[in-house]
Amino acid sequence: METSAEHSGPARRRGRWRTGARSRERILEAARSCFAQHGYDRATVREIAGAAGVDPAMVHYFFGSKSRLFVTAMEFPVNPIDEITEALDADPEELGGRIVRRFVESWDASPGAGPLAALLRSPGDERSETMFSEYIRREIAGHLIPAIPGEDPELRAELIGSHLIGLALSRYVLGLEPLASATPETLATWMGPAIQYYLAGTTAPRGPQQG
Amino acid sequence: METSAEHSGPARRRGRWRTGARSRERILEAARSCFAQHGYDRATVREIAGAAGVDPAMVHYFFGSKSRLFVTAMEFPVNPIDEITEALDADPEELGGRIVRRFVESWDASPGAGPLAALLRSPGDERSETMFSEYIRREIAGHLIPAIPGEDPELRAELIGSHLIGLALSRYVLGLEPLASATPETLATWMGPAIQYYLAGTTAPRGPQQG
């Protein structure tokens, strides 16, 4: 037995799906604009929802949090917070190598795409700088710093970040060889212990074999 | 006893000095143009002299070598080759810290000036990229690599370079705190052992106390 409701169901679902996809895209556009205009800290989910013409609940439904909305809007190849959380759960002795390997594998998978790559190509843009600096300080540093022991944890977290961004610049923008062609595994082998040293917070680097 | 030659001497010397200063400036302009157009490797002293309308001997008289001409034309705060040579002559155990300290002190002394800082602000310029990549590979890597022992010396030299350029980007362009306000000594203390590890060429970093 067919009813008009059953007939209209799929069409309405398709319609809803299309409306949802359009809303999601409008939210992402509004997010890019609001983050660029007001920075990461001052842009709010409420303001982004308003600019997209949707309810703030819809932003939470699609993206969960301001942090995830930012990562999606900026087309990050992976969510750095998920990476950090996962890495911190694993063997801390191998954390440095894991961070390098995942970073390189993620960038290799989507070279030169998205606003982050654009910033790397043109770091002089002050609005982008503010937006990314604030995101790095609040979210990445906020998650990483409490997890690393020893003195000057903020400085060491930034030294890790500066080494990774310098690697991205050398490998993907300047194309320096042999660094640009090295495998993620080779880079993890060499660079991992340097990152591990910054994480460990000793004033001199110690390898695993030195205990 | 005075002669007309003695009278005309100072005036002629001043005239020569002015001519020399003008020639020197013309050589630098020609160098910037030729290096940008043909890259570091293919630009020749002969071609630069021709473009400046002077004899190649005058280029050698003013600048000594293509490498020094490049460093002067690009307004590097220091000559990296002199720094590397000096650092390699010193205690090899403290080389990492010395490299970091000199790098930071040099950049602190002339923040944001010159074509190198311009490249850092806008690395997308392909001509600049070629020019600097070739200079780094031929001159910096050419001097540093033969001096460092162990496997993959080219890769490790580039990891040192990528960490330093990432530091410059984070400190001088993005202004990340507390990294941007840290003293050269603090940065040398933390970052020196990481550079030292890359120089030593062991697969795990060892501090001096483990050596």
Fold of B80-210: Tetracycline Repressor; domain 2 (1.10.357)
Decide if pLDDT at A5 tops 50. no
- When pLDDT is averaged across residues B167-184 and rounded to a whole number, the result is 88
Around Cβ B45, how many Cβ atoms within 10 Å?
18
Per the CB < 8 A criterion, the answer to whether A190 and B159 are in contact is: yes
Mutation target vs A (from B107, B126, B155; most A CBs, 10 A cutoff): B155
Decide if pLDDT at A119 tops 70. no
Per the CB < 8 A criterion, the answer to whether B32 and B73 are in contact is: yes
- When pLDDT is averaged across residues A73-93 and rounded to a whole number, the result is 77
| Residues forming CATH 1.10.10.60 domain(s) in chain B | 4-73
Counting Cα atoms < 13 Å in the Cβ hemisphere of B14 gives 4
Kindly compute the dihedral angle of the four CA atoms of residues A117, A122, A125, A129, in this order, to the nearest 10 degrees.
50
pLDDT value of position B179: 93
User: CA-CA distance, A45 to A66, in Å (whole number)?
Assistant: 6
Predicted complex ipTM:
0.71
First-residue to last-residue Cα distance in chain A:
74
- When pLDDT is averaged across residues A8-25 and rounded to a whole number, the result is 70
A211 — pLDDT class (breaks 50, 70, 90): very low
Task: Find, among A195, A200, A191, the residue nearest to A151 by Cα.
Answer: A200
Quote the minimal CA–CA distance from A50 to chain B in Å.
30
Question: What percent of chain B has pLDDT above 70?
Answer: 79
Contacts of residues B79-87 at CB distance under 8 Å and 24 or more positions apart, as own/partner, are B80/B139, B80/B140, B81/B139, B81/B140, B81/B143, B84/B140, B84/B143, B84/B144, B84/B147, B85/B143
B3 — pLDDT class (breaks 50, 70, 90): very low
Decide if pLDDT at A112 tops 70. no
CATH superfamily, domain A4-73, is Homeodomain-like (1.10.10.60)
Instruction: List all residues of chain B from 142 to 181 with a beta carbon under 8 Å from chain A.
Output: 152, 154-156, 158-159, 161-167, 169-171, 173-179
Least confident of A166-175, B39-48, B86-95: B86-95
A14 — pLDDT class (breaks 50, 70, 90): low
User: CA-CA distance, A14 to A130, in Å (whole number)?
Assistant: 40
pLDDT value of position A186: 95
Sign of CA dihedral A107, A110, A111, A115: negative
pLDDT value of position B209: 39
For the record, the structure tokens of A162 come out as 């500066």
pLDDT value of position A65: 92
Three-state DSSP at B76 gives coil
